[in-house]
Amino acid sequence: MSGLIAIVGRPNVGKSALFNRIVGKRIAIVHDMPGVTRDRLTAEGEWQGQPFTLVDTGGIGLLRGEKSNDVIVKAAVEQVMLAIDAANVIIFVVNTQEGVMPLDREVAERLRTCGKPVLVAANKVDNFNAEKDADEFAIFGFDKIFPVSAIHGLGIERMMNAVTSFLPPMPVSEVVEGAEGEADPATAEGAEGEAAAAKPKPRGPLKIAIVGRPNVGKSSIINALTHSVRVIVSPIPGTTRDSIDVPFEVDTDGVRQKYVLIDTAGMRKTRRVDDSVEFFSVQRAQDSIARSDITVLVIDAEMGITEQDKKIADVIVEQRRACIVVINKWDLFDAEVRVAREEEIAKREEKKRTEGQAKALTTLGEFGQWVQDKLFFLDYAPVIFTSAKSGFHLDRLLEAVRYVAAQLQQKVPTAILNRTLHDAVERRQPVSSMGHRLKFYYATQVRQAPPTFLLFVNNDELMTDQYKKYLADEMRTAFGYEGCPIVLAPKSRPKTVQSVRKPKPAHLQKPRGQDGERISNRTAVRTAGKAGSKIGGKSRSRPGGGKFPPSPTKNLANYKGAKRPRKNSHPRGSNRAKGRR
């Protein structure tokens, strides 16, 4: 197991900036406002072959014995203490531009009693002249002080070399596996080399993003699944700001399955986002949807399905992520639904007439169908009714996650796929204003997550969105794919052989001029008339040998622009032409 490095300090000293610099990614939100980071933010990193887990924490903003009415501030301090207890080495971040502050002394006093190795990172040393300002932090009693600049990357290498020296060594088994993975399969001898080359790469843990509006219970669900206070939960909307990755393992039938639960910030309407911190929080939430394998959309049962819920669902559809819809806080309506169910059963036993009355929703199946009707563009997602407070149906949520994950990994045989699509196209043709008919040739699956199928047809313009949904529904009926989006990529099949006409015989070709251009119709008629004249009973020959083509004056009516002879015409000057008998 890799070692754990915790970054602690008072608020607004650059802990998140240092976290991003060490990891090499923009994971934590960096802002000038104090107290932006609240939860423990973890990320896997590596320094010169030494793997580790880096933890970013919120600032310790309370002195020992000081009381605060702010629930979030007290919860952030508790998260910092949990990170200190679990860490192998601690990086104590201070600000050289502000000097020693009372909260710095408070943090140093807490760290001296923890019994862990502590390294002081004197941050915001933007030039070499400011390195001498780091000496004043020697009053804390820690031996190792490193002047660093998280923004510019100064002094990071020297500090990390010292930090990794306190980490526990890697287990021998992991070192051997890494050496085997780096070996070239081509150089292996015999069957062992072939087996090593054919061995599939292990898949990482399944990433599950928990998204929704603010204060719908996303963090509560994660704490209930992990049976711990992993993330801060409060009735204040917008408590979560960063996207927190929470590793999670479950034993199912003797098989240990690994997951990564991603807690995200609540996504409000765009016009209501009034500060930059919330803007970046929403961006992190959308990025979490894009990098997740399965997205869990949490909806408040008390508020119902709102417009913002539909917009979040639309983001999931655009990202083509597998989805599970969770109706949280169902414990608020459980008793009421049970009473309504008993009344409905009593009405049925009394055989009361209910024609013309709206049907009451009394079962979870009926409520689930109502949710799918409201989210009609996400009707393939299963609906689970849960309560993070009481733990109602959380086991069914895990079962739905495992089922959808299995659906994502299935591979449809090509023969069965083509037979299913061919029958679906024959049963229903797409609507075409030109009266064209869709011809389906062949289909194959090109990707598993999300399930993507390439369809070869005669005209891809006939494959409208409505017709794609019809084909996707037919495929769900045949293969399942519950909770998974089906992507259909139509492609017009090109002509394999271009039609090549044989050249016409010389006597059937239209006459051409000396420059190779075709002669106009009238010119052709005049030329043909001269060429058709006879001298001495013999037709004239072409100067280079050969005969002229026959005169086209016999089929004069076929030439455009030629005058057609009048029917029943007589020579001019005759009595009949003059109207005489």
Per-residue pLDDT at 516:
52
Burial class (CB in 10 A: 0-12, 13-18, 19+), 339: exposed
Tell the CATH superfamily of the 3-164 domain: P-loop containing nucleotide triphosphate hydrolases (3.40.50.300)
Contact 232, 39 (CB under 8 A): yes
Q: Return d(Cα 347, Cα 111) in angstroms, integer.
A: 68
pLDDT score at 261: 94
Best CATH choice for the domain 414-492 from the list 3.10.20.30, 3.30.300.20, 2.40.50.1020, 3.90.230.10: 3.30.300.20
Q: What number does CATH give the domain 206-408?
A: 3.40.50.300
CA torsion 210→212→217→219, rounded to 10°? Answer: 40
The pair of structure tokens assigned to 450 is: 């999300």
Strand partners, 325: 297, 383
| Alpha-carbon span 230 to 28, nearest angstrom | 17
Query: 3: which 2 tokens?
Result: 């070692």
- State the amino acid at position 313 in one-letter form: A
Sequence-distant (≥ 6) Cβ neighbours of residue 578 within 8 angstroms = none
Question: 290-301 burial, b if ≥16 CB within 10 A, otherwise e?
Answer: eebbbbbbbbbb
DSSP 266: -
Q: Return the pLDDT at 504.
A: 63
Query: What integer pLDDT is reported at residue 215 of this predicted model?
Result: 92
The two three-digit tokens of residue 118, written as one number: 């502590």
Q: Which residues contact 535 (CB under 8 A, 6 or more apart)?
A: none
State how far the Cα of 46 lies from the Cα of 2, in Å rounded to an integer. Answer: 10
Q: Hey, what long-range contacts does 525-530 have (CB within 8 A, 24 or more apart)?
A: 525/552, 525/553, 525/556, 525/559, 525/562, 528/552, 528/553, 529/553
Please tell me the predicted confidence (pLDDT) of residue 94: 94
Write the DSSP symbol of residue 328. Answer: E
Same fold yes or no, 3-164 and 206-408:
yes
Instruction: Tell me the pLDDT of the chain (581 aa) as tens digits.
Output: 578 999 999 999 999 999 999 999 989 988 888 888 888 999 999 998 889 999 999 988 877 767 777 888 888 888 999 999 999 999 999 999 999 999 999 999 999 988 899 999 999 998 877 788 888 999 998 989 999 999 999 999 999 999 999 998 876 555 545 444 444 444 444 444 444 433 444 568 999 999 999 999 999 999 999 988 889 898 888 888 889 999 989 887 778 889 999 999 999 988 888 888 889 999 999 999 999 999 999 999 999 999 999 999 999 999 999 999 999 999 998 888 888 888 878 877 777 666 666 667 778 888 999 999 999 999 999 999 999 999 999 999 999 999 999 999 999 999 999 999 999 999 999 888 778 888 899 999 999 989 999 999 988 888 889 999 999 999 999 998 999 999 999 998 766 555 566 666 666 666 665 555 555 555 554 554 554 444 444 444 555 555 545 555 445 455 455 555 555 555 555 565 555 55
CA angle 341, 347, 350 (to 5 degrees): 145
Q: What is the dihedral of CA 172, 177, 179, 181, to 10 degrees?
A: -170
Name the β-bridge partners of 149.
154
Provide the β-strand partners of residue 504: none
Torsion angle (degrees, nearest 10) of CA 570, 571, 576, 577: 100
Domain boundaries, the chain: 3-164, 206-408, 414-492
Q: How much is the CA Rg of the chain, to the nearest whole Å? A: 39
**pLDDT given for residue 508 in this prediction:** 63
